[in-house]
């Protein structure tokens, strides 16, 4: 299963030990985290302009992404069509999640609520455990 990741999810995933990451593989098969160039841009901005702790976490996330891309656990996702630069990164990731029919990984409660309300499934972290939240709304019902 492919999962689109937002910046906050990646930062926590790379910094905090996640106890049951294999849960996704056992439930859905091989998990591949999809990373959009806008997320890389956000992480790079945090690396250079964030406070010390956030900067180090962003740098670690960028290093982990590069390592996991090589081992094929992560891969870059490109847009199928030109997207509006006016979209926020979160809105863009949500649109990609709906378009590709794959879950959105985030710890952002507002983004989570938006995703579930629009029909996207969500992967999140709670108490250092992976949680899958299935949307009761299907996109074609909207």
Q: What is the tens place of the pLDDT at every residue in 56-76?
A: 999 999 999 999 999 999 999
Share of the chain residues as helix, strand and coil, in percent rounded to the nearest 5: 50, 15, 30
Residue 109 has pLDDT above 60, yes or no: yes
Q: How many structural domains compose the chain?
A: 1
Find the domain containing 37 and state its range.
2-141
Percent of the chain exceeding pLDDT 90 equals 72
Given a contact cutoff of 8 angstroms between Cβ atoms, the answer to whether 1 and 43 are in contact is no
Report the 10 Å Cβ neighbour count for 70: 9
- Beta-sheet pairing, 122-126 with 104-105: parallel
Residue 142 has pLDDT above 60, yes or no: no
Percent of the chain exceeding pLDDT 70 equals 92
pLDDT-derived band at 54 (thresholds 50, 70, 90) equals: very high
pLDDT at position 17: 80
| CATH number, position 102 | 3.40.50.1010
Residue 140 has pLDDT above 80, yes or no: no
């Amino acid at each position: 299963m492919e999962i689109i990741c937002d910046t906050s999810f990646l930062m926590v995933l790379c910094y905090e030990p996640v106890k049951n990451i294999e849960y996704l593989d056992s439930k859905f098969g091989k998990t591949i985290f999809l990373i959009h160039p806008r997320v890389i841009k956000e992480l790079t901005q945090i690396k250079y302009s964030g406070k010390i702790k956030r900067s180090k976490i962003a740098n670690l996330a960028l290093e982990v992404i590069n390592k996991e891309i090589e081992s094929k656990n992560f891969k870059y996702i490109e847009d199928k069509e030109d997207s509006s630069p006016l979209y926020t990164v979160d809105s863009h990731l949500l649109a990609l999640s709906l378009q590709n029919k794959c879950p959105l990984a985030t710890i952002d409660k507002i983004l989570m609520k938006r995703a579930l309300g629009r029909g996207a499934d969500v992967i999140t972290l709670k108490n250092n455990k992976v949680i899958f939240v299935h949307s009761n709304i299907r996109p074609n019902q909207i």
